[in-house]
Amino acid sequence: MSCIEKMKYEILMEKMTFKESREFIEKNSDEVYYVPPGYKIFNDYYIIGIPPIALGIKDNALIFTYTKPCYGTFVLSIDSEDSRKEIYRLREVGKEKVHTPFKNGSSLENSKKPQTSFQDIWKK
C-alpha cells in the first residue's frame, strides 16, 4: 500500500504535538514500541517526528502518528491485513532493535536503554 490516505483508518486524535501523540499512544495501547524517525511502515510510509516515537498495538490494530503538512499531527489506527503484517514485523524487529513496551508509569525518558539507531534497524 503506498498511501495512508487510501487505507481504511480511524483518526483517534488530531492536531496535537508529538509529545501529546506519544503519550496518547502509550496510554491507549496494549503494547508500545519506540522507533527512530524514518522508521518505515506499510512498505513506503516513513514515520516522522521527535524521538522517541511510539508505535502502539491494540488487538490487531497498529496505532501511530501521521503528520500531514499544513494540517498537523494525527494519531491513526489501522486494523487490516497490512497492519497485521506490520505488527508482526515490528515485534520481530523489536526483539533485538526497537524499545519494547513500557507500562505502569515508566517511560522511555526514564529508561537506561540506549537509543536504537536508524541504520541498525535496517541491517536485518
Residue among 104, 30, 40 nearest 61 (CA): 30
* pLDDT tens sequence across 76-124: 999 989 889 999 988 888 765 444 445 444 444 444 444 555 556 565 5
Left, alpha or beta for 57 (phi > 0: left; psi -120 to 50: alpha)?
beta
What is the model's pLDDT at position 45? 86
Q: Is 33 helix (H, G, I), strand (E, B) or coil?
A: strand
Residue 7, pLDDT > 90, answer no
* pLDDT tens sequence across 29-71: 999 999 999 888 888 888 888 888 999 999 999 999 988 888 8
What is the model's pLDDT at position 42? 86
What is the model's pLDDT at position 5? 73
Location of C-alpha cell 516515537: 53
DSSP string, 54-122: EEEEETTEEEEEEEETTTEEEEEEE-SHHHHHHHHHHHHHHTTTSB----TT--GGG--SPPPPHHHHT
Distance, in Å, from the CA atom of 111 to the CA atom of 47, rounded to the nearest integer, reads 22
Q: Kindly report the number of other CB atoms within 10 A of residue 44's CB atom.
A: 10
Q: Is 27 helix (H, G, I), strand (E, B) or coil?
A: helix
Mean of the per-residue pLDDT values for the chain?
79
What is the model's pLDDT at position 111? 45
What is the model's pLDDT at position 114? 47
Sequence letter at residue 105: G
